[in-house]
């Protein structure tokens, strides 16, 4: 491809080539993974709330190229929670990703079904399956190839050297599955005013189980399966306004791996009135995460009654930082859950 700003573009190209075994074939990822449950694990449908709706937006790499933009939305809810030894949950989610000058994009919509078994008063074990339809696209018209340089300048009449049968759009069916264990002492009516939260969530998931074809050239190139191990929780300091909210995620897809871990510290700003509802609870959580070899993420979550808004920024620390000046990308998430997470009637974590 033609490099418009040769010194800077050449440096970027070298960095990207040196990182190819880290980033190749990786799926989308949100830094606020706890605000996008169905892209993390199908078994998270219904795992932590009776109803959970979220919207996510990420904008990255704007400092070095056309920005990479990722948008997502999800909704899941429980059924027959009070019947028998477990309950069903269903969920739907959608995401769209556009990358760089070529507008290489992926759009996918999924339907999820999960079942959770009560292990005790406070804990459940759930399993979920997910199926969806995806489409990948690319805009070849904006690309300029090295073979089209005639020795003096770019000549679009020259053959690019790319296969003539290349498609600019492909579609495929995609499937995933997962397991999730959840512990939540607030679901049993534990003291809210005493700030005695003990919440933990651990899961494992597998995406692209059918390994769909994703080659624009029709060469049968398969999408690698992606394995995910994740966990998070809320652990309060009793009779105080403070709680720790640690979390981690490990993902492996082909030769690409991602390790992500960190914690937020939550401070309760106001405790709502438990019976009258005249006053609404609110809290703020601030902290950071580290994506191994890639970025440090500054993260903030504000909660008010059933609503949550998360804002984070990725500070690039990889080999690309020499041209990105450390600027990675901004991410914003909005979330609504039922029941009120501060009421003591369900998970008190937004996770």
List the structure tokens of 228.
């995910």
For residue 148, what pLDDT is reported?
72
What H or E segment, with its residue span, contains residue 324?
helix 321-324
* Structure confidence at residue 10 (pLDDT): 39
Cβ atoms 261, 294 nearer than 8 A: no
How is the chain split into domains, by residue range? 6-338
For residue 299, report the phi and psi dihedrals to the nearest 5 degrees. Answer: -135, 140
Q: Please give the pLDDT value at position 6.
A: 40
Beta bridge partners of 234: 199
The CATH homologous superfamily of the domain defined by 6-338: monomeric porin ompg (2.40.160.40)
Per-residue confidence in pLDDT tens, the chain, 351 aa: 443 444 444 344 334 333 333 334 468 889 999 999 999 999 999 999 999 999 999 997 665 666 788 999 999 999 887 667 899 999 999 999 887 666 778 999 999 999 999 999 899 999 999 999 999 888 776 676 777 777 777 777 777 666 655 677 889 999 999 999 999 988 654 444 456 788 999 999 999 999 998 777 777 788 899 999 999 999 998 888 999 999 999 999 998 999 999 999 999 998 765 555 556 889 999 999 999 988 899 999 999 999 999 999 999 887 665 555 556 789 999 999 998 887 655 444 344
Residue 238 per-residue DSSP state:
T
342 and 348 in contact (C-beta within 8 Å)? Answer: yes
What is the C-alpha separation between 318 and 20, in angstroms, rounded?
12
Using alpha carbons, list the distances in angstroms from residue 178 to 49, 109, 207.
Answer: 18, 18, 8
Q: How many CB atoms are closer than 10 A to CB 246? A: 18
Q: What is the pLDDT of residue 64?
A: 60
DSSP per-residue codes, 160-211: -SS-TT--SEEEEEEEEEEEEEEEEGGGGT--TTTT--EEEEEEEEEE-TT-
Contact 143, 168 (CB under 8 A): no
Q: Which residues contact 331 (CB under 8 A, 6 or more apart)?
A: 30, 31, 32, 56, 57, 58, 59, 310, 311, 312, 313, 314
List, in order, residues 6 or more apart from 156 with CB less than 8 Å away.
144, 148
- Report the distance separating Cα 102 and Cα 95, nearest Å: 19
The pLDDT of residue 351 is 45
């Amino acid at each position: 491809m033609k490099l418009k700003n040769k010194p800077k573009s050449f440096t970027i190209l070298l960095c990207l080539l040196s990182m190819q075994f880290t980033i190749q074939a990786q799926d989308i990822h949100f830094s606020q993974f706890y605000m996008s449950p169905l892209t993390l694990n199908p078994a998270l449908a219904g795992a932590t709330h009776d109803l959970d709706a979220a919207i996510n937006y990420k904008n990255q790499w704007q400092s070095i190229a056309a920005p990479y933009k990722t948008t997502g939305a999800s909704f899941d809810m429980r059924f027959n929670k009070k019947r028998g030894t477990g309950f069903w949950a269903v969920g739907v989610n959608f995401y769209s990703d556009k990358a760089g000058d070529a507008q290489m994009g992926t759009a996918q919509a999924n339907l999820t079904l999960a079942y959770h078994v009560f292990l005790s008063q406070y804990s459940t074990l759930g399993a979920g399956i997910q199926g969806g339809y995806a489409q990948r696209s690319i805009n070849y018209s904006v690309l300029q190839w090295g073979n089209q340089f005639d020795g003096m300048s770019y000549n679009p009449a020259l053959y690019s050297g790319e296969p003539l049968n290349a498609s600019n759009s492909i579609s495929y069916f995609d499937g995933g599955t997962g397991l999730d264990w959840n512990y939540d002492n607030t679901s049993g009516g534990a003291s809210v005013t005493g700030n005695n939260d003990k919440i933990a969530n651990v899961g494992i998931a597998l995406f692209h189980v059918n390994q769909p074809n994703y080659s624009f050239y029709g060469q049968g190139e398969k999408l690698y399966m992606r394995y995910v191990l994740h966990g998070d929780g809320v652990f309060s300091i009793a009779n105080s306004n403070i709680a720790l909210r640690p979390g981690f995620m490990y993902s492996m897809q082909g030769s690409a791996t991602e390790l992500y871990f960190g914690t937020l510290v939550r401070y309760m700003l106001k405790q709502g009135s438990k019976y009258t509802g005249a006053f609404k609870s609110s809290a703020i959580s601030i902290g950071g995460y580290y994506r191994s070899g890639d970025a440090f993420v500054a993260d903030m979550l504000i909660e008010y009654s059933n609503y949550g808004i998360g804002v984070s920024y990725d500070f690039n620390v990889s080999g690309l930082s020499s041209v990105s000046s450390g600027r990675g990308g901004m991410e914003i998430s909005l979330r609504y859950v039922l029941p009120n997470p501060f009421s003591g009637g369900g998970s008190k974590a937004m996770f």
